[in-house]
Structure 1
Amino acid sequence: MINKKNNKLGWLLTSPYLIFTVFIFLIPLGFALWLSFTDWDMMSPTINFVGFDNFIEAAQSTGVHAAFFVTYKFLIVFVPLVLALSMLIAVLVNALPKFKGLYLVAFFLPYLSSGVVTSLIVNGLLSYNGTFNRFLRNQFGLQIDWLGNPNTALVIISLMIAWKMSGYYALILHSGLENINKTLYEAAAIDGATRKNMFFQITIPMLYPALITVMILAVGITFGIFTEVYQLTGGGPNNATNTWQMEIYKEAFVSLQSGYASAISLISSVITFMTVGVFRKFIQKWGESNGWT
């Protein structure tokens, strides 16, 4: 029999989250859904309902097509990169005899840095008269347009975000490493296993709970990239770094097509959830093959 007093207390304790969900998520989502069926620019006194025209236009838009493919390019470059960096940091810090917390905090600090400030610094370093380009010109006679080349621009932005996020993800992975039973390594060493064998056969499988968290977070990040792209390339060159968020921003605040931008944002949300779901299924299958249920 459920105690009514405890039941009311439970609703009271969860009410802040429920209120937050309603006002910050559900109401804006409903408004965006309604807006996507109109041509309203958020300023005009007249509102015309256009049905699915915004969605049809988005499906035919070169900007939306670019955002779709660019996001997966970022995913291919960024996710393995940040996983490798965060794993390296976690393993190295875990091997330290002391001051682990101090090093973890030091690696975590970039996560707290402003994306705008970081982008401005990188832009200054990689500009034509920047320190790095002057060094390449003077020493090797090289002149590379880092942010004007589609391939290098995407890699640089991926590196920036990986640098920022790797310390945060390393904290999660380090927590997983701390929870691995050390007797597993002792037994493997007695059986003659090498460090490489122990890393791939014990460490990686036992890190499944932490790895699935980090991978889902990393995949989600790729669908929300905006600040670095806005500051460094504006989605260029030739839409080579035009992410979903950048396309939504341009349509909503530059072209003043709020209804159309809402349609793009809803399409982006669906694709994001589908992609995260697919990744989650694959990771779960891998976990199940290693004994996790």
Structure 2
Amino acid sequence: MERPNNRLGWLFTSPYLIYSVVFFVVPLVWSLYLSITDWDLIAPEYHFVGLGNFLDALRSPGVRSAFWVTYKFMLVFIPIVTVMALTVAVLVSGLPRCKSLFLIGFFLPYLSSGVVSSLIVKGLLSYNSPVNTLLRGFGISIDWLGTPMAALFVVGVILAWKFTGYYALILTAGLGSIDKEIYEAAAIDGVTDRQRFWKITLPLLYPSLYTTLILAFGVTFGIFTEVYQLTGGGPSFATNTWQMEIFNQAFKNLQAGYASAVALLASLATFASIYVVRKLLEWWGKRYGWS
């Protein structure tokens, strides 16, 4: 009786397994092989170079900038998107009706094209745009995409705007799972709204916060579209992300082998960073009784 069931299980899981092998396992193995060669993406022949690509990458200013820029984006993106998502979730949860309608409205930016939103922002922040014209009227002149910190902030805000609705959806579900009797007991004890949020809502929202924060940290390692459209990694490598560095080396400099080595280094940095973040979040959760 077990054999037919096993065959049926393999049959139902085979589409995902085939997809994983074709689009994940095979490219990973191919990337590992290319990382120790000098293939230029065009020539039919390439030579074995060992760990040369990795050593060159570790000495590269572009790779070092991609490493640090990722964490700079975290400092901008994570706080903004977390506060905005929490705010939206709390406000929507307090509505008497039409919650789903408002959540869909906030979720729509997540479905929008990164190319389109980047081009719109680029137009809004151009020199002759209404925004800059108004600011110059007050004596304020900012080169939004030509100044390192300003460019970093602009890209971080665009990403926060895009992902706020998605994370708010997760947090709203978490808020809905909190037992209302806890709030009623707190109200009887005279707990203020601020105390209720920090001492009750936030700790009980830990599972949803854990999920959104892990997802948000993962986003910062895959930033490409907005940077490519707005800054191209500049100015002065200020927004040069891992994905941007890989793209430039593979398709502009035609160094596919070197780009594969950079991609593997990016994967190691991603997994190591997410592991540290996960441990910190788990430590925070244990303080409130989550194991």
Alpha-carbon separation, structure 2, partners of 1:218 and 1:56: 30
Alpha-carbon separation, structure 2, partners of 1:203 and 1:132: 38
Partner of 1:5: 4
Partner of 2:127: 128
Structure 1 residue 135 displacement after superposition: 1.3
* Residues 73-93 of structure 1, C-alpha deviations (whole Å, 9 max, x = no match): 001111111111100000000
Alpha-carbon separation, structure 1, partners of 2:44 and 2:15: 35
Query: Alignment partner of 1:49: what SS?
Result: coil
Structure 1 residue 152 displacement after superposition: 0.8
* Residues 91-120 of structure 1, C-alpha deviations (whole Å, 9 max, x = no match): 000000100000000000000111111111
Partner of 2:75: 76
Alpha-carbon separation, structure 1, partners of 2:255 and 2:189: 66
Question: Is 2:150 the counterpart of 1:152?
Answer: yes
* Residues 157-196 of structure 1, C-alpha deviations (whole Å, 9 max, x = no match): 0000000000000000000000000001011111111111
Report runs of 4+ in structure 1 exceeding 4 Å deviation.
none
Partner of 2:30: 31
Alpha-carbon separation, structure 1, partners of 2:167 and 2:128: 34
Partner of 2:140: 142
Alpha-carbon separation, structure 2, partners of 1:116 and 1:161: 12
Q: Indicate if the aligned counterparts of 2:110 and 2:163 stay in contact, CA closer than 8 A.
A: yes
* Residues 26-56 of structure 1, C-alpha deviations (whole Å, 9 max, x = no match): 0000000000000001210211110000000
Structure 2 length as normaliser, TM-score? 0.98
Alpha-carbon separation, structure 2, partners of 1:42 and 1:240: 27
Question: Is 2:281 the counterpart of 1:289?
Answer: no
Alpha-carbon separation, structure 2, partners of 1:16 and 1:206: 37
Partner of 2:222: 224
Which of 239, 245, 248 is the matching residue for 2:237? 239
* Residues 208-256 of structure 1, C-alpha deviations (whole Å, 9 max, x = no match): 1111110010000000000111111111110011000000010001000
Q: In structure 2, give the amino acid aligned to 1:205.
A: P
Partner of 1:165: 163
Alpha-carbon separation, structure 1, partners of 2:16 and 2:177: 30
Partner of 2:275: 277
Query: Alignment partner of 1:236: what SS?
Result: coil
Q: In structure 2, give the amino acid aligned to 1:65.
A: R
Partner of 1:215: 213
Which of 190, 196, 199 is the matching residue for 1:198? 196
Q: In structure 1, give the amino acid aligned to 2:257.
A: G
Q: In structure 1, give the amino acid aligned to 2:114.
A: G
Partner of 1:109: 108
* Residues 259-281 of structure 1, C-alpha deviations (whole Å, 9 max, x = no match): 00000000000110110111011
Partner of 2:88: 89
5+ long unaligned stretches in structure 2: none
Alpha-carbon separation, structure 1, partners of 2:97 and 2:221: 37
Alpha-carbon separation, structure 2, partners of 1:141 and 1:90: 37
Aligned residues: 291
Alpha-carbon separation, structure 2, partners of 1:87 and 1:23: 38
Alpha-carbon separation, structure 2, partners of 1:115 and 1:52: 36
Question: Is 2:68 the counterpart of 1:63?
Answer: no
Alpha-carbon separation, structure 1, partners of 2:65 and 2:290: 38
Q: Indicate if the aligned counterparts of 2:124 and 2:131 stay in contact, CA closer than 8 A.
A: yes
Q: Indicate if the aligned counterparts of 2:224 and 2:243 stay in contact, CA closer than 8 A.
A: yes
Alpha-carbon separation, structure 2, partners of 1:181 and 1:11: 40
Alpha-carbon separation, structure 2, partners of 1:63 and 1:289: 40
Query: Alignment partner of 2:161: what SS?
Result: helix
Structure 1 residue 7 displacement after superposition: 1.7
Alpha-carbon separation, structure 1, partners of 2:283 and 2:12: 36
